[in-house]
C-alpha cells in the first residue's frame, strides 16, 4: 500500500496545527509499515494507490485521480464554518444552493463544493465536523469517518516531581499570536484579574500589529504575563503542562486544538471557548466561556477558573498517534478492498 499526502499551503508560509497533524500522521503510518510520500506535482512518474488530501481539492483533481485508479480521501478542517452561529450556517447553506443553480460551472469549480460528492472518503476530526459535512455539503454518511488528532507519547508520561504543581501556579496558553486566538485579550484579562498566565507561541510575522500589541501588554505586566516565544522541546512543553494550574484557549475559531489535546493528556484542566467543537470532544471534562467577551468580562472568569482548577478532575484521554494511524490504516484497507 502506498499513500500520497497532499496539502495546498506550504509549511514555510504559515506554521500551525495542520503541519503537526500531517507530520505526525505520516510518521505513525510509516511505523505501521505503510509507505507514505508527499505528492510531487512535478513528478509524472510518481505512483500511489490513495491520495490523502489535507484540505479540499477541486472536483477535477478527484476526477483525474480516479482516472488513474487512485482513491481520494479528503480531510478538511471546517474551522470557520464550525464556529459560526446556526443562523449564519443556515444562510450559508441557502446561498450555496442558490449559487449552484445560478452561477456558472467555471465559478463553482473554484469553490470545490463538488469534492463532497466525488471523493471516496471524508475524515472529520470531530463528530461536530462530521455533522457539518453531512448537513452543509450533503456528503454521504457512509463515506464520513471521525478520526481525531493524536498526542505524542511524551504528554502521557509523568513523574512524581512533575506532578507536584507549584503552590501559586500559573495558567498556560499555547497558541499562535494571532487575533483568532485572542491572546492579547487573554493577557489583558490576566493582568486585570492578577492571574499569572504563560503564553507559549509565536506570530506569523514579527511585524504584525497584533503581535506588537501583545508585546506591549506583556511588557507592561511582566508579573502576570510570561512570554518566551514558542517552545520546540516537546519534553519541556509536556512538563509545563503537567505543572500548570490549568490550560486556557479562548480562540474565536477552532477545529480540534492539538494543544488542548496535549494539555488534556497531561492532566491539565481546560478552559475553552464555548464552541461546538470543544463540547463535542471534551464534554463535561472542560470548563467553557464565551471567547468573544472583552477583557474586563473575561477577567472574573479567568480568576474563577484559576481558583477552581486544583479541584477539577478529568477522565478524558486522547488517542496517541499510533492509535490514529491504526484507524487510518483500517480506512485505507477498506477503500482498496
Judgement on whether residues 137 and 161 belong to the same structural domain of the protein? no
- Give the pLDDT confidence of 260-299 residue by residue, as tens digits: 999 999 999 999 999 999 999 999 999 999 989 999 999 9
- Give the pLDDT confidence of 88-97 residue by residue, as tens digits: 888 888 887 7
Judgement on whether residues 159 and 307 belong to the same structural domain of the protein? yes
Within-domain flag for 316 = no
Within-domain flag for 37 = yes
**Cβ pair 171, 306 in contact under 8 A:** yes
Cα–Cα distance measured from residue 113 to residue 96, given in angstroms and rounded to the nearest whole number: 9
* pLDDT the model gives residue 314: 87
Q: Terminal CA-to-CA distance of the chain, rounded, Å?
A: 11
- Tell me the mean pLDDT in the region 198-204: 94
Say how many domains are in the chain.
2
Judgement on whether residues 162 and 85 belong to the same structural domain of the protein? no
Judgement on whether residues 63 and 195 belong to the same structural domain of the protein? no
Judgement on whether residues 87 and 171 belong to the same structural domain of the protein? no
Task: Domain of residue 23: give its range.
Answer: 2-150+321-336
- In the predicted model, what is the mean pLDDT of the chain? 92
Kindly report the CATH number assigned to the domain that includes residue 198: 3.40.50.2000
* pLDDT the model gives residue 277: 94
Residue with cell 482516472: 67
* pLDDT interval class at 162 (50, 70, 90): low
Coil, helix or strand for 226? strand
Q: CA angle, 111 as apex, 106 and 114 as ends, to 5°?
A: 85
* pLDDT the model gives residue 99: 74
Identify the burial level of 209 via C-beta atoms within 10 angstroms of its C-beta, where 0-12 means exposed, 13-18 middle and 19 or more buried.
Answer: exposed
- Tell me the mean pLDDT in the region 241-250: 96
Judgement on whether residues 160 and 142 belong to the same structural domain of the protein? no
Phi, psi angle pair for 303, to nearest 5°: -60, -45
- Tell me the mean pLDDT in the region 144-149: 97
* pLDDT the model gives residue 88: 87
Judgement on whether residues 266 and 204 belong to the same structural domain of the protein? yes
Within-domain flag for 114 = yes
Within-domain flag for 132 = yes
H/E element, 91: helix 86-102
Phi, psi angle pair for 247, to nearest 5°: -115, 140
* pLDDT interval class at 132 (50, 70, 90): very high
The model's pTM is 0.90
Whether pLDDT at 81 is above 60: yes
- Tell me the mean pLDDT in the region 301-311: 96
Judgement on whether residues 127 and 12 belong to the same structural domain of the protein? yes
Judgement on whether residues 128 and 253 belong to the same structural domain of the protein? no
Whether pLDDT at 167 is above 60: no
* pLDDT interval class at 108 (50, 70, 90): low
Could you give the angle at which helices 258-265 and 234-243 cross, rounded to 10 degrees?
60
- Give the pLDDT confidence of 170-186 residue by residue, as tens digits: 999 999 999 999 999 99
Within-domain flag for 198 = yes
Find the Cα–Cα–Cα–Cα dihedral 84, 87, 92, 94, rounded to 10°. Answer: 160
* pLDDT the model gives residue 54: 95
Judgement on whether residues 144 and 162 belong to the same structural domain of the protein? no
Within-domain flag for 27 = yes
Judgement on whether residues 19 and 55 belong to the same structural domain of the protein? yes
Within-domain flag for 15 = yes
* pLDDT the model gives residue 319: 96
- Tell me the mean pLDDT in the region 129-144: 96
Judgement on whether residues 168 and 99 belong to the same structural domain of the protein? no
Closest-CA residue to 62 (of 101, 6, 103) = 6
Whether pLDDT at 15 is above 80: no
Identify the burial level of 133 via C-beta atoms within 10 angstroms of its C-beta, where 0-12 means exposed, 13-18 middle and 19 or more buried.
Answer: buried
* pLDDT the model gives residue 86: 86
Amino acid at each position: 500500500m502506498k499513500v500520497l499526502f497532499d496539502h495546498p499551503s506550504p509549511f514555510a508560509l504559515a506554521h500551525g496545527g495542520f503541519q503537526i497533524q500531517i507530520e505526525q500522521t505520516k510518521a505513525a503510518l510509516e511505523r505501521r509499515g505503510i509507505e507514505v510520500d508527499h505528492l510531487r506535482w512535478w513528478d509524472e512518474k510518481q505512483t500511489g494507490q490513495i491520495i490523502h488530501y489535507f484540505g479540499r481539492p477541486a472536483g477535477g483533481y478527484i476526477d483525474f485521480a480516479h482516472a488513474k485508479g487512485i482513491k481520494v480521501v479528503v480531510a478538511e478542517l471546517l474551522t470557520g464554518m464550525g464556529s459560526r452561529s446556526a443562523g449564519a450556517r443556515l444562510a450559508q447553506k441557502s446561498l450555496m444552493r442558490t449559487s449552484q443553480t445560478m452561477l456558472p460551472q467555471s465559478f463553482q469549480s473554484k469553490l470545490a463544493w463538488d469534492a463532497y460528492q466525488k471523493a471516496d472518503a471524508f475524515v472529520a476530526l470531530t463528530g461536530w465536523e462530521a455533522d457539518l459535512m453531512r448537513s452543509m455539503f450533503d456528503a454521504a454518511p457512509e463515506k464520513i469517518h471521525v478520526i481525531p488528532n493524536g498526542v505524542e507519547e511524551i504528554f502521557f508520561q509523568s513523574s512524581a516531581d512533575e506532578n507536584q504543581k507549584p503552590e501559586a501556579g500559573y495558567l498556560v496558553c499555547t497558541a499562535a499570536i494571532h487575533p483568532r486566538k485572542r491572546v492579547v485579550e487573554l493577557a489583558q484579562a490576566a493582568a486585570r484579574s492578577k492571574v499569572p498566565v504563560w503564553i507559549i507561541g509565536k506570530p506569523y510575522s514579527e511585524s504584525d500589529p497584533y503581535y506588537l500589541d501583545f508585546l506591549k501588554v506583556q511588557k507592561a505586566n511582566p508579573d502576570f504575563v510570561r512570554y518566551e516565544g514558542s517552545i520546540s522541546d516537546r519534553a519541556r512543553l509536556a512538563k509545563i503542562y503537567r505543572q500548570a494550574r490549568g490550560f486556557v484557549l479562548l480562540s474565536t475559531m477552532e477545529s480540534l486544538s492539538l494543544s488542548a489535546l496535549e494539555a488534556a493528556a497531561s492532566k491539565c484542566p481546560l478552559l475553552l471557548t464555548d464552541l461546538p467543537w470543544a463540547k463535542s470532544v471534551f464534554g463535561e471534562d472542560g470548563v467553557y466561556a464565551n471567547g468573544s467577551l472583552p477583557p474586563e468580562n473575561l477577567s472574573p472568569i479567568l480568576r474563577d477558573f484559576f481558583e477552581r482548577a486544583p479541584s477539577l478532575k478529568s477522565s478524558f484521554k486522547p488517542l496517541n498517534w499510533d492509535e490514529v494511524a491504526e484507524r487510518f490504516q483500517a480506512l485505507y484497507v477498506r477503500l482498496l478492498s
